[in-house]
Every structure is written in C-alpha cells, then in structure tokens.
C-alpha cells in the first residue's frame, strides 16, 4: 500500500458498528418511553419472521489486559457471579414484559469481560433462564468469547449442551515481549488445547482474534503468530487494528509508552503481510478485518449478500432487533439505540426497582435511517446505491464531493447512482463511510473521539 495514501487517509474515524455513532447520539431528546415504543414497533414487525438477537455482557476478569477497551470489573472474587446473573435475568424479564408474544431468539452472544470467568453451573443457570421465556428460531446461533487460559472442558460441554456452536478465542499475539506489554501471558499450547477441546465436544466454528499494531509488535511477530495459527486452522479469524484510545479508556491503555507502538507505515505493513499470509492459508476476506474459511457460515453469508454488522461485529444473519443485557450493553431496535449504565452498582439499583437500566440513547430520524443503510451496505458489501427516493438524503451531493479525492485515488468507483469500493480501496472503507456520516461532518468534534483508521 502506498505510504502517501496512508499519510493522506490515516485520520481518526469510527468503526461503524452503528450509525449514528455513539458520540453523536441525541441524548437530550432520548427518553425511556421513546425507547420502549421503538422496541415494541420493531418486535411487532420482525419477531415472527426473523426473531431477535441477544448480547449479554459479562464484565468480570481476574486480571487486566492493557490493550482492552471493554467495560470490565477486575476481581478474583467469584461470589459476584450469582447476583450478577440474577440481575441480568431480571432485566430480561423487564424486556419480555414489553412484548405481546414470546421473543424468538435467532442469535445470542456472550461477551465481556471474560464470560468463562463464570462457572459452568452459573452459565447454565443464565442461559436456561433466558431461553425459558423465549422460543428458539430455526438455525439459531449461540456464540461466546472464550479465554484460552481459563476455558475448561466443563465450560465447553455445558455451553455445547445449551446450543452453543461458535466460540472465539482471544489470541492477540504469540510473542513473549508483546504479551508482557499487554499483560496477556498466553502460550500457544493454551490456545491449542482450548481450540481442540472445543472441536472435540461439538463446536462447529472456532474463531481466533489476532491484533496488529500492538506495543513492541513487528512484522516478524505477525508472521510467527499466523504461522502458529495455521497449525490450528480456526474457522474464522478477526485480524484487526489495536485501537489506541487512552483518552477514553483510561489507565488500562497506558501500560506502555506511545513510543512503543508501531508507526502507521509499519502497522499497515503488519496488516498487509498478515492478510497475504491468511489468503495463502485459504482464508477469504469477510467485511472489514475479518477472514473465514469457505466452510464457515460467515463466508456463506458474504457470498449470498446476507452479511450483517452490529455492535457484536459481523454476523451471518440479520435481525432487526438486538437487545443488550448487562452493564454497558448496547441495544438496537433499528429505529433507536440505547446503552445501559456502566457501573454495576447503578445497574443493580435500577433493575431492582423495575427500571430498564439505560442511561443514554438515540431515536433515529428518517435521514438517519437512510444513511445507516448506506453505511451498513459499505461495511458489509463494499457497495451501495441511491437509485430511488427512499435511498437519497439531503446531503448526498456533499457526500459525493467529499469522495472526489478517493475517486481520483481509485479507491472508489461511482456510476449509475451507485458506489463501489475497489480492491485498492478496501483498507479505507472507514474513510468512505465517513463521507456519508453527516453528523461527523457537521459537528466536527474538537477532541479526538476515535482511533486512527489505518
């Protein structure tokens, strides 16, 4: 990739798991009443046909990984498990009371934190408590994030018996120096053991998460990590950029000096080398920063133009509604977003008082909905079109003007009321989406809110 293009387009930008992005939500006009109305509308429109998705945030970790930007609570006290599950199940009750029918669950994902911080017994209680008040859609998909150091065979057997078939293990990097810097000591043997155990008990899709741009990381480290990954051939791989945002995420991302991070050119070379090695191993690129073998559901979804993106990342099927349970979880009714309170004590207080524990959100207007669909098209399929009145918006001409430089640089092609991102332009998909992001262009934040795009 050209160094000039990196220099030109390496700017702070969103990762577009939503539009509008969280910093531009209109919290002043958002209300819990509006949020409930948008949920009922979406549920009535979509539950019978496609069902809903659930994300459950399990925030506890025994130690702090300094690369992590997730909402977590560091503790070794496992007595916190039971009251947290009680609160999550109570929150689920509050949502179920809004609807005139049983929710049909199409997808469920456990994230964290460290979901395998929780005992198999407590995870069993959680999932059975959720499904007891719902029905399962045909070909439903349950998945979770596993920590290779503490995922036991009992965890895997329990979750498999509950219907889980996808798991992603956080690898990050196998180099000792990098692991020490990010406080994630995790030998290859641990990942190998967890991967092989998952497959042996019945998991049909095992994913690995690998990060580039970490402190002290080099291109040779990427080569080493992917060489070891090839020994295990996970079904899917998330190969994504370390998002260095210590001004947002606090001391957890200040465990090393800025000088220890790779320069933008080095960081992009890490990605290009890694991407080529993954292609050589038989992995196809799926959306932004994701790769899968042709046998994986994500690949099939991409080929069939059914790939979807939400706050959980890429998914093989779309649901209009996604409910987030637990502290800091984000929910999406398609017509609106909401985020739960981030503090565990505040979360307990609201749930115990029968209040859905959201603290901010956004109700989308007509223009938001149109732009949202364009950005979703670009992030999932690298193309979009505005060939009818339902897909145009007031600032479309301004958007096209902002894309003129990318057109000259052959990153995009614009013709017949449509846009396609070229192969050369795929690494800049976030920059293309930013041209459509009316709120980002209008409000121009004074301080840096997002990680760099390259």
Structure tokens at 257: 């000096």
Domain's final residue, options 325, 350, 376: 325
**Is the same domain home to 16 and 28?**
no
Cα–Cα distance measured from residue 284 to residue 189, given in angstroms and rounded to the nearest whole number: 26
Sheet holding 412-415, edge to edge: 383-385, 418-421, 412-415
Cβ-based neighbour number of residue 136 at 10 Å: 14
Length of the chain as a residue count: 454
**Is the same domain home to 7 and 55?**
no
Instruction: Please enumerate in sequence order all residues whose Cβ is within 8 A of that of 323, keeping only pairs 6 or more positions apart, or say none.
Output: 39, 52, 53, 54, 55, 95, 331
**Is the same domain home to 7 and 66?**
no
pLDDT, residue 446, reads: 63
pLDDT, residue 101, reads: 95
**Is the same domain home to 165 and 249?**
yes
Strands 284-286 and 308-310: unpaired
**Is the same domain home to 127 and 235?**
yes
**Is the same domain home to 91 and 210?**
yes
**Is the same domain home to 65 and 130?**
yes
Domain's final residue, options 297, 325, 353: 325
**Is the same domain home to 6 and 125?**
no
**Is the same domain home to 95 and 232?**
yes
* Local mean pLDDT, 10-residue blocks, the chain (454 residues): 80 90 93 97 96 96 77 89 98 97 97 94 98 96 95 98 97 94 92 98 97 95 98 96 62 66 88 95 93 96 92 88 97 97 97 98 97 96 93 94 95 95 93 95 72 72
Give the angle 158-238-73 at the CA atoms, nearest 5°. Answer: 60
Cα–Cα distance measured from residue 352 to residue 91, given in angstroms and rounded to the nearest whole number: 9
Cα–Cα distance measured from residue 284 to residue 292, given in angstroms and rounded to the nearest whole number: 5
Residue with tokens 């990984």: 65
| pTM for the full predicted model | 0.93
The answer, yes or no, to whether the previous bond of 159 is cis (omega within 30 of 0) is no
What residues pair up with 3 in beta bridges, in sequence order? none
Domain-located, residue 337 = no
**Is the same domain home to 374 and 321?**
no
Sheet holding 290-292, edge to edge: 284-286, 290-292, 236-241, 205-212, 164-172, 135-146, 104-112, 52-58, 322-325, 330-332, 336-340, 358-363
Domain-located, residue 350 = no
Structure tokens at 433: 């989406």
Domain's final residue, options 274, 305, 325: 325
Annotated binding site for S-adenosyl-L-methionine: 55, 67-69, 112-114, 145, 172, 184, 209, 243, 330
Annotated binding site: 55, 61, 65, 67-69, 112-114, 145, 172, 184, 209, 243, 330
Domain-located, residue 360 = no
Domain-located, residue 347 = no
Domain-located, residue 332 = no
Q: Which domain holds residue 396?
A: 1-20+365-454
**Is the same domain home to 446 and 389?**
yes
Give the CATH number, domain containing residue 400: 1.10.10.920
b/e burial code for range 42-81 (CB count within 10 A of at least 16 → b): bbeebbeebbbbbbbbbbbbeeebbbbbbbbeeeeeeebb
Give the CATH number, domain containing residue 258: 3.80.30.20
pLDDT, residue 242, reads: 87
Domain-located, residue 330 = no
Cα–Cα distance measured from residue 20 to residue 443, given in angstroms and rounded to the nearest whole number: 12
| Number of domains the chain contains | 2
Cβ-based neighbour number of residue 316 at 10 Å: 23
Provide the angle, in degrees to the nearest 10, between the axes of the packed helices 219-232 and 264-280. Answer: 20
Domain-located, residue 342 = no
Structure tokens at 204: 């049909």
pLDDT, residue 71, reads: 78
Structure tokens at 192: 């190998």
**Is the same domain home to 52 and 5?**
no
Alpha helices in 316-422 (DSSP H): 344-352, 366-381, 396-402, 404-408
Domain-located, residue 53 = yes
Annotated binding site for [4Fe-4S] cluster: 61, 65, 68
């Amino acid at each position: 990739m050209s160094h000039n293009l990196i220099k030109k387009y390496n700017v702070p930008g969103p990762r577009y798991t939503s539009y509008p992005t969280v910093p531009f939500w209109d919290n002043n006009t958002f209300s819990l009443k509006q949020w409930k109305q948008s949920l009922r509308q979406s549920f009535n429109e979509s539950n019978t046909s496609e069902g809903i998705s659930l994300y459950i945030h399990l925030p506890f970790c025994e130690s702090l990984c300094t690369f992590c930007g997730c909402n977590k609570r560091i503790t070794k006290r496992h007595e916190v498990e039971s009251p947290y599950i009680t609160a999550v199940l109570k929150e689920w009750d509050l949502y179920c009371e809004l609807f005139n029918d049983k929710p049909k669950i199409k997808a469920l994902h456990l994230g964290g934190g460290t979901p395998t911080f929780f005992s198999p017994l407590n995870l069993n209680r959680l999932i059975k408590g959720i499904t007891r008040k719902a029905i399962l859609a045909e070909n439903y998909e349950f998945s979770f994030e596993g920590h290779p150091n503490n995922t036991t065979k009992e965890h895997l057997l329990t979750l498999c018996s509950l219907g889980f078939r996808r798991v992603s293990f956080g690898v990050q990097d196998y180099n000792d120096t990098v692991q020490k810097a990010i406080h994630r000591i995790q030998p290859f043997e641990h990942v190998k053991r967890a991967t092989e155990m998952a497959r042996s008990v019945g998991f049909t899709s095992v994913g690995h998460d690998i990060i580039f741009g970490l402190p002290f990381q080099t291109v040779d480290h990427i080569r080493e990590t992917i060489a070891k990954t090839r020994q295990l051939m996970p079904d899917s791989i998330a190969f994504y950029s370390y998002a260095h945002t210590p001004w947002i995420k606090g001391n957890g991302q200040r465990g090393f000096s800025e000088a220890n991070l790779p320069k933008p050119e080095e960081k992009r070379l890490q990605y290009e080398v890694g991407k080529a090695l993954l292609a050589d191993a038989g992995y196809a690129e799926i959306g932004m920063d994701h790769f899968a073998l042709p046998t994986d559901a994500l690949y099939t979804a991409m080929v069939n133009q059914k790939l979807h993106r939400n706050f959980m990342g890429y998914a093989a099927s779309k649901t209009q509604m996604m409910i987030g349970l637990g502290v800091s979880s984000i929910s999406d009714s398609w017509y609106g977003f909401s985020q739960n309170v981030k503090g565990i004590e505040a979360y307990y207080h609201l749930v115990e008082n029968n209040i859905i524990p959201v603290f901010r959100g956004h109700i989308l207007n007509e223009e938001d909905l149109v732009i949202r669909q364009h950005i979703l098209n670009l992030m999932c399929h690298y193309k979009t079109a505005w060939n009818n009145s339902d897909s145009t918006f007031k600032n479309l001409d301004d958007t096209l003007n902002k894309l003129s430089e990318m057109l000259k640089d052959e990153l995009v092609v614009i013709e017949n009321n449509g846009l396609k991102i070229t192969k050369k332009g795929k690494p800049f998909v976030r920059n293309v989406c930013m041209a459509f992001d009316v709120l980002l262009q209008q409000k121009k934040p004074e301080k840096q809110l997002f990680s760099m795009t390259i």
